[in-house]
A and B are shown apart, each in its own frame.
Chain A
Amino acid sequence: MASPTFREVGAAEALELAASGWRIVDVREPVEWNEGHIPTATLLPLADVPARIAEVAPDRDAPLLVHCAVGARSARASAWLVANGYTQVASLRASLLDWRRLGGAWEAPEQLLTPAQQRRYSRQVLIPEIGQVGQRKLLDSKVLLIGAGGLGSPAALYLAASGIGTIGLVDDDVVDESNLQRQVLHASDRVGMPKTESARMTLAALNPETHVVEHRERLDASNVERLISNYDVIIDGTDNFDTRYLLNDAAVKLRKPVVHGSIYRWDGQVTTFVPFEGPCYRCMYPTQPPPELAPDCAIAGVLGVLPGIAGLLQANEVFKLILGTGETLAGRLLMFDAMSTEFSEVKIWRDPACPACGEGSLA
């Protein structure tokens, strides 16, 4: 007596078997299944066949049509099945494209990511809170960085690497040799080059998919609303109170979240302002301090890693704002002391009397 065997069938015959009620078993991997599959099929990856076939097909005499992508894995699965007592097994020896060309039923999910994007961002797509839907949100998002300097450098690098679709950079400065100690977007051979151009070169090399928009200008009252209006989240890495207050008031008016960061020698502060949901900068400090209270890095100095730490904490906030998950720093000022390696925080309240977002404001 010949040992039991399985039949190999073409796409046309497979369609007939399916129409006459043969059970369809797809032995491909989940990632292939997710890109499209026969709607009546059951997913059972080849490696899982021995352990799980009994629950998928408890009746060994029921007819089974096994398929994979072209017919190799399904042949191996079919050989195992007949060797283990299954009596009616057919393996599709054809491409699934042939099945579809002949009108075989097919179900493909809406593709949120291209195969290249799936590969590139696979490590964060694996995170349950991100997934394909979250990655799509990141790819569709627009983040504006005020300043392509100490805070903007690490933030822009990691945002671009993660696939933020559009990164805008507002800076009218050129790269100075003294910037290179901390502004890691730039490079020694770019001293004298506009910072936005240097940043675009670095970010384009890291992730060509990220669209980098250069705003080679200084934020002022005449351009602030135009600059921020097209973006979803603003990262404030400015170095002076004029810009901070201008940005705050425009962001409250246009309801744009601002991730605030500031640094001084060994100390950094980060918080997130979400207009009308949490406090704004004027809730903390209602009126602008005189300039002598705002020494910048050029005078005070700053440890190189400090903007790195603060800028990445800012980037971390951006993800939560875009993905709509987790707890942002809205209502909390996070303080980092690099000298003692200590984080601490204080609460910030929305001030009902706030001149920008309070009850009496025009917003």
Chain B
Amino acid sequence: MSNVRIPPVLRETVGGSRSVAAQGGTVNEVLTDLFATYPALRDRVTEAGELSPFVNVYVNDRDVRYRDGLATPVGPDDTVILLPAMAGGAR
């Protein structure tokens, strides 16, 4: 089971958890497992089966766009980070 860190703007889709465990040997498998448990997450992270351009996915500290995208391998001790653009208010 790898650990998936849920950013604050997506926490409502996973019942408020800061991180959740998910199974799978690739980013795609991990996300599929995650979406089965938390269906509301799917539309926030993917668009037509591809990663949303507004959400970056990292395996440990590496952006999967610069690896193998959804096919990037995920080990059992790896941390997957979902990171949407954060506008984050100063006003």
A and B physically associate: yes
Instruction: Give bound CA distance, A340 to B91, whole Å.
Output: 25
Task: Scan B60-91; emit 1 where CB is below 8 A from any A CB, else 0.
Answer: 01110010000000000000010111111111
Task: Scan A237-248; emit 1 where CB is below 8 A from any B CB, else 0.
Answer: 111110010000
Minimum CB distance partner of B60 in chain A:
A346
Minimum CB distance partner of A235 in chain B:
B90
Q: Which residues on the B side are within 8 Å of A345 (C-beta)?
A: 61
The yes or no answer to A339 lying at the interface (CB within 8 A) is: yes
Evaluate whether A151 and B90 lie within 8 angstroms (CB atoms) in the complex, with A264-B9, A286-B53, A346-B63 already known: yes
Minimum CB distance partner of A147 in chain B:
B90
Q: Which residues on the A side are within 8 Å of B56 (C-beta)?
A: 284-285, 346
Evaluate whether A293 and B9 lie within 8 angstroms (CB atoms) in the complex, with A269-B88, A349-B66 already known: yes
Kindly identify which residue among A147, A151, A285, A344 contacts B85, using a CB–CB cutoff of 8 Å: A285
The yes or no answer to A361 lying at the interface (CB within 8 A) is: no
Instruction: Give bound CA distance, A67 to B62, whole Å.
Output: 65
Q: Which residues on the B side are within 8 Å of A239 (C-beta)?
A: 87-91
Kindly identify which residue among B53, B62, B91 contacts A297, using a CB–CB cutoff of 8 Å: B91
Kindly identify which residue among B61, B66, B87 contacts A262, using a CB–CB cutoff of 8 Å: B87
Minimum CB distance partner of A268 in chain B:
B88
Q: How many residues of B contact A (CB 8 A)?
A: 22
The yes or no answer to A79 lying at the interface (CB within 8 A) is: no
A337 smallest CB distance to B (angstroms): 8
A261 smallest CB distance to B (angstroms): 7
Instruction: Give bound CA distance, A23 to B26, whole Å.
Output: 79
Task: Scan A138-178; emit 1 where CB is below 8 A from any B CB, else 0.
Answer: 00000000010111100000000000000000000100000
Tell me if B81 and A147 are in contact (CB < 8 A).
no
Could you list which residues of chain B lie within 8 angstroms of chain A, going by C-beta atoms?
7-9, 18, 53-54, 56, 58, 61-63, 66, 81, 83-91
Could you list which residues of chain A lie within 8 angstroms of chain B, going by C-beta atoms?
147, 149-152, 173, 179, 237-241, 244, 261-269, 284-287, 289-290, 293-298, 300, 302, 307, 333, 337, 339-340, 344-349
15 residue pairs from A and B, CB less than 8 Å apart:
A149-B89, A150-B89, A150-B90, A237-B90, A264-B86, A285-B56, A287-B53, A287-B54, A293-B9, A293-B54, A293-B87, A294-B85, A345-B61, A346-B56, A349-B63
